[in-house]
Amino acid sequence: MQRIIGKQAVLHRYEDLMAYECDGYTIHKGVPAAVIFPANTQEVSAAVTYMHKHKIPFIPRGAGTGLSGGATALNGEVIISLVRMNKLLDVDYLNRKAVVQPGFINLKLSNSISTKGYYYAPDPSSQAACTIGGNVGENAGGAHCLKYGVTTNHVLGLELVLPSGEIVRIGGLPDSPGYDLLGILTGSEGTMGIVTEITVRILKKPQGIKTVVALYDDVNDASQAVSDIIAAGIIPAALEMMDNTAIEGVESGNYPVGYPRDLGAVLIVEVDGIEAGLQHQIDEVLEVCRKHHVREVRQAASVEERARWWANRKTAFGAMGTISPDYLVQDGVIPRSTLPFVLARVGEISQKYGLRIANVFHAGDGNLHPLILFDSRIPGQQQDAVLAGSEVLQVCAEMGGTITGEHGVGIEKMEDMRFVFTEQEIEVQIGLRQVFNRDNLCNPDKIFPKPARCVEVKQHLATVRETAISN
């Protein structure tokens, strides 16, 4: 490797490798055989060609902010870090696209084009650190994906080093003849190759933005308001929710905004677009909120106030560290209409395991982030947190939802895949992987469970769902 990409670009001493033993998912860890830092596509290709020839497994990695273990070397793989490939290569304002290297940081793109009035829409909470390459791998979402869509809706083209080492270019325009290769590569969690260049859509900044917070005594009233806002035909740019425990966390964290600690829930509702129509939309939102017994509503009086609300919300995960030694982030999706039922079930799971669960949601699109609080120093609690998380995902699947909205499957949810796919459906997907990654050297042992008894699981789920509906 040192011969191929330079002596300085390879880590191989155990003490250096330790820093790469996991990504943002810390339950399972593994030390890589080496970490390499290629400087360009040709070096990625040369390194991969070598590893392909010698049957050495490897894993691409961005900033390591992933939450499902996708970049963790469970079995001593070589990690290919893309952080040196961190350039903004081109911006084409007329055709509204930008070309970046995979290690380019998400927020830097919006910052780089802001003065011209443009931005990049997908905004994961980790956007100040995470890379666009990593976003493509996980098909990352964010608070504003309700209106603007997730990463896959913004990727126009990719350059990819196949697991064989060959370099291919895919896409370039919204629609493409043949099969949707961009779609299948986006969100493939590094199992189909190493993305080395990304063309993304950039958007004109909306003329106006208006933001309100609605404070509720009862979380169910807040849930009902979410459903009714969407049913009223308003598509907010963002529609976020935090429950009582989450509010306790964010108000104890670095960015408190003064939410009362006794609230059942807070909603953050943002609309954007042409200035002329915005206040009318906000008035409609407020009307719905009031119908559902809101305690208080506040409209952001300044850009700074809005920024404070978002800093508070976007650092919610980390803020849990102030009220609990450890926490596990989950990521389920449900039909919006089942939100009150699912919240009640999450409450039961919390009681069953004796673990507090804070709920932070992209409520508008039914994407839950239960934060399961535990103390890893107490024997058994980490294990219980994992089991509780899996039970929450099972509830999501039972309600006709799914097991991940934006964090990916990675290592964490491999077994939970059985909640939503039959053995045969999993086999089809493994077949797709083999088209790109025949020898399974590229991020092996991720996403898919080992073959097992999933017909029974599906049957169980069907029964549970029938029961829930008939109740």
Residues 301-360 close enough to bind a second copy by CB under 8 A:
333, 335-337
* 86 versus 188: smaller Cβ distance to a second copy: 188
How does DSSP classify residue 114?
G
* 266 versus 339: smaller Cβ distance to a second copy: 339
**Tokens representing 245?**
């425990």
User: Residue 428 interacts with a second copy (CB under 8 A)?
Assistant: yes
Tracing tokens 């958007």 back to the chain, one arrives at: 203
Question: Which of the residues 116 through 135 are near a second copy (CB under 8 A)?
Answer: 117
Report the 10 Å Cβ neighbour count for 344.
12
Question: Which of the residues 212 through 271 are near a second copy (CB under 8 A)?
Answer: 227, 230-233
User: Residue 462 interacts with a second copy (CB under 8 A)?
Assistant: no
CB 270 within 8 A of CB 213: no
User: Residue 291 interacts with a second copy (CB under 8 A)?
Assistant: no
Extended beta strands in 78-184, E state: 78-81, 88-92, 97-100, 118-119, 155-161, 167-171
Report the 10 Å Cβ neighbour count for 470.
6
Stretch that binds a second copy, among 29-37, 55-63, 119-127, 424-432 (CB under 8 A): 424-432
Please pick, from the candidates 94, 304, 377, 379, the single residue that binds a second copy as defined by CB under 8 A.
Answer: 94
Minimum separation from the CB atom of position 347 to a second copy (A)? 23
* 252 versus 337: smaller Cβ distance to a second copy: 337
User: Residue 455 interacts with a second copy (CB under 8 A)?
Assistant: no
Q: Where are the alpha helices (DSSP H) in 116-195?
A: 132-138, 145-148, 181-185
User: Residue 282 interacts with a second copy (CB under 8 A)?
Assistant: no
* 180 versus 262: smaller Cβ distance to a second copy: 180
Q: CA-to-CA distance for 351 and 364, rounded, in angstroms?
A: 27
Please pick, from the candidates 60, 69, 122, 405, the single residue that binds a second copy as defined by CB under 8 A.
Answer: 405
Please pick, from the candidates 181, 209, 286, 387, the single residue that binds a second copy as defined by CB under 8 A.
Answer: 181
Extended beta strands in 244-333, E state: 265-273, 294-299, 326-329, 332-333
User: Residue 275 interacts with a second copy (CB under 8 A)?
Assistant: yes
User: Residue 378 interacts with a second copy (CB under 8 A)?
Assistant: no
User: Residue 435 interacts with a second copy (CB under 8 A)?
Assistant: yes
Q: CA-to-CA distance for 118 and 103, rounded, in angstroms?
A: 21
Minimum separation from the CB atom of position 253 to a second copy (A)? 28
Angle 448-450-454 (CA atoms, 0-180°, nearest 5)?
90
CB 272 within 8 A of CB 208: yes
User: Residue 433 interacts with a second copy (CB under 8 A)?
Assistant: yes
User: Residue 404 interacts with a second copy (CB under 8 A)?
Assistant: yes
Q: CA-to-CA distance for 110 and 119, rounded, in angstroms?
A: 4
Stretch that binds a second copy, among 75-83, 177-185, 384-392, 460-468 (CB under 8 A): 177-185
Question: Which of the residues 191 through 210 are near a second copy (CB under 8 A)?
Answer: 204-207
Helix (H, G, I), strand (E, B) or coil at 35: strand
User: Residue 281 interacts with a second copy (CB under 8 A)?
Assistant: yes
Please pick, from the candidates 56, 83, 218, 273, the single residue that binds a second copy as defined by CB under 8 A.
Answer: 273
Stretch that binds a second copy, among 49-57, 71-79, 180-188, 315-323 (CB under 8 A): 180-188
Minimum separation from the CB atom of position 256 to a second copy (A)? 31
Please pick, from the candidates 422, 459, 463, 467, the single residue that binds a second copy as defined by CB under 8 A.
Answer: 422
Name, in order, each residue with C-beta under 8 angstroms of 2's C-beta and a sequence gap of 6 or more: 9, 10
Stretch that binds a second copy, among 236-244, 248-256, 319-327, 412-420 (CB under 8 A): 412-420
Please pick, from the candidates 131, 135, 312, 402, the single residue that binds a second copy as defined by CB under 8 A.
Answer: 402
* 172 versus 256: smaller Cβ distance to a second copy: 172
CB 161 within 8 A of CB 43: no
**Tokens representing 240?**
């976020």
Name, in order, each residue with C-beta under 8 angstroms of 36's C-beta and a sequence gap of 6 or more: 1, 5, 9, 10, 11, 47, 78, 79, 80, 81
Q: Are strands 78-81 and 34-36 parallel, antiparallel or unpaired?
A: parallel
Extended beta strands in 257-323, E state: 265-273, 294-299
Query: With the CA atoms of 70, 72, 77 and 83 taken in that order, what torsion angle do they form, in degrees rounded to the nearest 10?
Result: 80
Please pick, from the candidates 187, 249, 253, 370, the single residue that binds a second copy as defined by CB under 8 A.
Answer: 187
Residues in the interface with a second copy (CB under 8 A) total 80
Residue from 6, 30, 9 nearest 445 by CA: 30
* 19 versus 462: smaller Cβ distance to a second copy: 462
User: Residue 381 interacts with a second copy (CB under 8 A)?
Assistant: no
Minimum separation from the CB atom of position 178 to a second copy (A)? 5
Minimum separation from the CB atom of position 229 to a second copy (A)? 12
Please pick, from the candidates 31, 33, 56, 278, the single residue that binds a second copy as defined by CB under 8 A.
Answer: 278
Please pick, from the candidates 300, 417, 442, 454, the single residue that binds a second copy as defined by CB under 8 A.
Answer: 417
Extended beta strands in 179-287, E state: 194-201, 203-204, 208-216, 238-243, 265-273
